[in-house]
Structures are given as structure tokens and as C-alpha cells.
Structure 1
Amino acid sequence: MPVISAPQEYNEDDLYVDLRSSLGLPLYLKCEGFNFSGSIKQKAALEMIEAAEKAGRLTDGSVIVESSSGNLGVALSTIAASKGYRFVCVTDSRCNAATRQLMEALGAEVHTVGAPDPEGGLLAARLAYVRALCDSDERYVWLNQYVNEDNWRAHHRLTAPHIAERFPALDVLFVGAGTTGTLMGCARWYREHRPSVRIVAVDSVGSVTFGGPASPRMIPGLGAGVRPPLFDESLVDDAVLVPEVDTLRACHRMVGQGFLFGGSTGTVIAGATRWLTVHAAGRDDITAVAISPDLGERYLDTVYRADWVRRVYGAALDMDEAALAGPV
């Protein structure tokens, strides 16, 4: 049993769910939500903070500031509280109420941007606010997950090697695309060490990362309104774009079997299901892993609440009340 003295010292790296009986497809789900921050973002948050400390950017009196729709904000709140830093999270109206409350409970200041930028949407508006904040006071230190190389280095150093150790005969790895830190870190590691593994990115419809048109997205986590600077498309073999209604279906299918996963995980499962249905249906000779970034407690007021789902998606979602409470 691990014994720790700080929350960031613990991350569960060895838990996988075999989804073969749930989906009828060969897929293992790597569950990254079992740490004190509740998501895979704890790895990147710690890597970026410790690198900033080593470089002398973060010192006594520094105030960490970051733009986040949720999971990274919670991770930074957790580590900032542990290390004694003030933290300001700049988010937008899509951030779940539970996530905002959790960050505030951890001592973070949460600023919610209301009006989207005419060209770059809510993300661009958040980034503009962060820049203005940093320009106003030199104590503010922006880690900038969107361009920070330590974002992907965390997964190059930790996530991908752990998967490779557990699944040495891996054929396909499914990774969600947000800032693309997890995607790029894993893709680089596999290109360097096991180039035969197929890297499949999973993104949300309405995200611009793979060149599609921007459109409103209501589930925070994956996707981007501004193409991530970290993203190198040459490292990705395939991409699957998932409509949010399919994210909801995947989440409710899993919760109907007792697995309460977050919206990002629902998107990854939906994308992996679609890809495997085309490329691996009926096959027993393929080994596939999907990375689950988060758990579902922070989505109880949105993804898992029938009135919110109907209000936001209406007739676009062909799910009755029974489906919203269990498998579809």
C-alpha cells in the first residue's frame, strides 16, 4: 500500500477495465481518474509546475494562472494547495458547477469568461483574459498548457511506458484530443519505441483540431476552438470525430453497468467503438487500449441529468427516460 505525504504523489497507473463483455469489441480502458485530482491531468499539471520551479519561474509569492475547462484546473488547484501557491483558473460557462466548487474548495480563484471571442470562441476569450492578467502583475505565472512542452512530456515519460509494459503486444491505442498533450506524448513514445502500434485520436465534432468547422460544444474536456500548437498530425494514424450525442450514449451505456465515467471518457469510448466496429468486428487477434481521462462525479448535473440533456440536445438525442438512466 502506498504511503504519501502530498496528494500529487499518488496516481493509479495499473487499473484497466475489459470492455469486451460491455461492447462486444476487444477494448481495454485505462482508467486515469483514480488520483486526488480525479483525472489524467494531474500528470501534466505536476510536470509543468515542477519544470517551472526548476527554471526559477515559480518562486515564493508567485501566482499560478491557467485557462482550463475543468480537469486541469482541479489538478492545478490540488497541487497549488499542497505546495502553497495561489492559483487562478480562467474558465467559461461550460465548466461544470461541481468542478468550479471543487477548485474553490481547494483555495483557487475561479474566473468565468462569459462572452466568446468572435473568431476563436470561448477558448480565445479565456486566453485573452489570462494574457491581460499576466500583463497586469509580474507575480502571475502562466503555465500555458496549450504550448508547454512539459504537457506532452508527462505522458511520454509516464503514460505510454506504463501502457507498453502492461500490453507489450498492443495493436491500437485510442487517445482523446484536447490540448493534445496526452495524445502527443503517447504518440511520440510509440513512434520511437514501437512504431507498429496504430495511434487513433478521438476528438469532438465542433473541434477545429483536425480541420473541421468550429461549432458549439457543451461537454467540457476534449476538443478545441483554436488548433492546439502542440499538435503534430503526422504522429496520428487515424482520427475519429464524435458527436456529443454519441458521447452521452456511451456514458449512459457504461453507467448502466455500474461504471460512472466522465464526458471525456464517454467521447473516447464512443470513438473507439466506432473505429473497432469497422476495423476489428469479430476479431480476437487484436489488442486495443483506450485512455479514460476522468470519472463521472463532476458530470452529475449535466451528462447524467435527464432534464439538462433534454434542454441542451432536445430532439437530436433519441433517448427515452429509461435510456438516460441505464444502457442504450
Structure 2
Amino acid sequence: MTIISVPMDFNAEDLYVDLRSIAGHPLFLKCEGFNFAGSIKLKAATEMVEAAEWNGTLTPGSILVESSSGNLGVALSIIAASKGYGFVCVTDARCNLSARRFMEAMGSQVHVVAEPAASGGLLGARIAHVRALCAADNRHVWLNQYTNAENWKAHYRTTAPGIARHFPRLDVLFIGTGTTGTLMGCARYFRELHRQVQVVAVDSVGSVTFGGEPGRRMIPGLGTSVQPALLDESYVDEVIRVEEADTIRACHRLARRGFLFGGSTGTVVSGAMEWLSKHDNHDLTAVAIAPDLGERYLDTIYQTNWLHALYGEDVLAPEAAADLQVPPSSTRL
């Protein structure tokens, strides 16, 4: 029996889904959404808040403020409610309505930025709004997930060691990229272990994380319009960019097997399947990190009208025609 007194004390660390019958290749999906925040962001949020308390930046009466597309905001709203802080989440219209309502239910405020900045797009506008809030009221404390080292350290201390413990012969690890906190923490851990683990970053088409021109992105979570300060590309072996239509197809493919995951997870799974199809080696041990669950996407990714309006009526046609009955393949741990 598990008994907790604060929501941050519960997180299912050791749950993996074997996707061989869905992906057609050996692939284990590390599920990070089984906590009270519903995503991997609870780890980074907890580490950043505790560090700010320890160094005296965050004190009784402080108001947390952060830019987030949804998941980190939800995590911080839970922590703020638990610890008695105020919280203001600065987001934009791509943030799922359910995430906004969740934060408000926790007693947080949600500010929605409507107009993109001339440089930096909607993310740039969100950050400018955060800076303005902090300048106007010194009670505001910006943890700044984009530059805060505690973001990646959270995964260096927890996520990566957990994977290494369960998969001592891991060959390749697929990680989605937003702030790149998860990517950098895991990549640093395996590099310092001198393990021959290929770290494959999975990004959204239209993101500028690894260079290129910004493009339309309607699914929150992965990708960015400003290159992350935390990113050190020397730790990344390869980058896979995924179209949002492929993200949607991967989500629906998983859902048809009873696994309802979020957009970030769909992106990672799609990228992992693409990489594995090009490296057709059934002896590989591959793990992908699933950042979130799917309930907050019921009005978007899993809603027909939303899909057809943004991606056309045939967005699911290739997936609907796919043969999902792929026999399981053997793998090694």
C-alpha cells in the first residue's frame, strides 16, 4: 500500500509498454504520465521549485510565474496549490482547454497570449509577458524552464538511471524535444556512463530547436520557436523530425490498441518507428520516453472536426489502411 501526503510523492517510474505488436519492431515505451500532473513535467517542476526554495528565491508569499504550453503549467499548478504559492501560467491558444481548466481548478491564473512576437513567435511573446509580470511585481518568481539547469538534472537523477536499471543492454533511446530538459539529462547520464547508447532526439517539423525556419505547429508540447538554451547538440547522435499528421496517426494507432497517449508521445513514437524501420535490426533494444497521456487531447487530436479543419479529411486515411496485425519480434534486454 502506498500512502502519500503531497501529490509530488507519487509517480509510477517503472511502467513500460511493449510496442512490438504495434510498431513492428522491438520498442519499449516508458510511460511518464502516471502521476497527479499527468506528464513527465512533474519531475522538472518539483526540482526547480525545491531548488528555488533552497536558495531563497522562493519564499512564503511568492507567486510562481512560468511560460508553458500546458504540461509544465499543470505540474506547477499542483505544486503551488500543495505548498501555498500563487501561480500564473502564461500560455497561448494552442494550450489545450482541459489543461487551462485544470490549472484554474488548482487556483492558478492562466494568461493567454494571442499575438506572436516579431522575433520568437508565440514563445517569444509569452516570455516577454512573463518578464513584464516580474518587472511589475517583485513577488513574482520566474523559474524559467528554458534555462534552469534543474530541468535537465531532474532527468539525470531519475529518468535516465531508471531506464539504465531496467535495460542494462540498451542500444537506442528516443526522446522528444521541447525545452530539451529530458533530452539533456538522459543524454548526459548515458554519456558519462560510457555506455554505447544512441540518443535520438525527436522534434516536430516547424520547430527551430535544431535549426531551420519556423513553421506552423498546432500540437503543444514538443518543438519550439526559440532555440533552447539548455541544448548541447554534442550529446545528440541523431535528430528525427516528425510531421504533425504523423503524430496524429501514431496517437490513433495506439488508441486502437487501448493506449490513449498525448501528442508529445505520438510524436516520439512516430519518430522511433521511422528510425527503426530504417535500421531493421530486431536484435536492438530500443526505449522511447512517453511524456504524457491522452485525456487532455480529446478535444483536439482525438476530435474529428478539429483534425479535419486543420489537416484535411484524409489525415487518418493512411493509418486506417495500415495493417496493425504485426507479429511480435524478439528482443534482448
2:316 aligned residue: 319
Q: Could you tell me the TM-score, scaled by structure 2's length?
A: 0.95
1:297 aligned residue: 295
Aligned partner letter, 1:220: P
Aligned partner letter, 1:78: I
* Structure 2 SS opposite 1:98: helix
Given the superposition, is the C-alpha separation of residues 9 and 278 from structure 1 closer, same or farther in structure 2, using an over 3 Å criterion?
same
Tell me how far apart the structure 2 counterparts of residues 304 and 323 of structure 1 sit (CA, whole Å). 14
1:213 aligned residue: 213
Q: Is the 8 A contact 2:176 2:202 kept in 1?
A: yes
Given the superposition, is the C-alpha separation of residues 297 and 327 from structure 1 closer, same or farther in structure 2, using an over 3 Å criterion?
farther
2:148 aligned residue: 148
* Structure 1 SS opposite 2:261: coil
**How far does residue 321 in structure 1 lie from its aligned partner after superposition?**
11
Equivalent residue runs for 1:123-134 within 5 Å = 123-134=123-134
Tell me how far apart the structure 1 counterparts of residues 317 and 5 of structure 2 sit (CA, whole Å). 47
Task: Note the aligned Cα RMSD (angstroms).
Answer: 1.6
Tell me how far apart the structure 2 counterparts of residues 182 and 174 of structure 1 sit (CA, whole Å). 11
1:253 aligned residue: 253
Equivalent residue runs for 1:76-225 within 5 Å = 76-225=76-225
Flag structure 2 segments of 5+ consecutive residues without an equivalent.
326-333
1:306 aligned residue: 304
1:284 aligned residue: 282
* Structure 1 SS opposite 2:75: helix
Tell me how far apart the structure 1 counterparts of residues 308 and 129 of structure 2 sit (CA, whole Å). 32
1:71 aligned residue: 71
Tell me how far apart the structure 1 counterparts of residues 226 and 95 of structure 2 sit (CA, whole Å). 18
* Structure 1 SS opposite 2:157: helix
Aligned partner letter, 1:111: H
Given the superposition, is the C-alpha separation of residues 169 and 327 from structure 1 closer, same or farther in structure 2, using an over 3 Å criterion?
closer
**How far does residue 320 in structure 1 lie from its aligned partner after superposition?**
4.5
Tell me how far apart the structure 1 counterparts of residues 130 and 246 of structure 2 sit (CA, whole Å). 33
Tell me how far apart the structure 1 counterparts of residues 73 and 320 of structure 2 sit (CA, whole Å). 31
* Structure 2 SS opposite 1:303: coil
What is the number of equivalent residue pairs in this alignment?
324
Q: Is the 8 A contact 1:27 1:288 kept in 2?
A: yes
1:244 aligned residue: 244
Question: C-alpha deviations, 1:248-294, integer Å up to 9, x for none?
Answer: 00000000110000000000000000000001x2x331100000000
**How far does residue 119 in structure 1 lie from its aligned partner after superposition?**
1.9
**How far does residue 219 in structure 1 lie from its aligned partner after superposition?**
0.1
Q: Is the 8 A contact 2:253 2:319 kept in 1?
A: no
Tell me how far apart the structure 2 counterparts of residues 213 and 194 of structure 1 sit (CA, whole Å). 34
Aligned partner letter, 2:35: N
**How far does residue 198 in structure 1 lie from its aligned partner after superposition?**
0.4
Q: Is the 8 A contact 1:174 1:268 kept in 2?
A: yes
Flag structure 1 segments of 5+ consecutive residues without an equivalent.
none
Tell me how far apart the structure 2 counterparts of residues 184 and 304 of structure 1 sit (CA, whole Å). 31
Given the superposition, is the C-alpha separation of residues 321 and 211 from structure 1 closer, same or farther in structure 2, using an over 3 Å criterion?
closer
Tell me how far apart the structure 2 counterparts of residues 284 and 211 of structure 1 sit (CA, whole Å). 32
2:52 aligned residue: 52
2:328 aligned residue: none
Tell me how far apart the structure 2 counterparts of residues 180 and 319 of structure 1 sit (CA, whole Å). 29
Question: C-alpha deviations, 1:100-131, integer Å up to 9, x for none?
Answer: 00110011100000000122100000000000
Tell me how far apart the structure 1 counterparts of residues 229 and 319 of structure 2 sit (CA, whole Å). 42
**How far does residue 3 in structure 1 lie from its aligned partner after superposition?**
1.2
Tell me how far apart the structure 1 counterparts of residues 312 and 282 of structure 2 sit (CA, whole Å). 38
**How far does residue 194 in structure 1 lie from its aligned partner after superposition?**
3.6
Aligned partner letter, 1:157: R
Q: Is the 8 A contact 1:206 1:217 kept in 2?
A: yes
2:330 aligned residue: none
Question: C-alpha deviations, 1:133-181, integer Å up to 9, x for none?
Answer: 0001110000000000000000000000000000000000000000000
Q: After TM superposition, which residue ranges in structure 1, 4 or more long, deviate above 3 angstroms?
A: 320-324
Tell me how far apart the structure 1 counterparts of residues 317 and 238 of structure 2 sit (CA, whole Å). 33
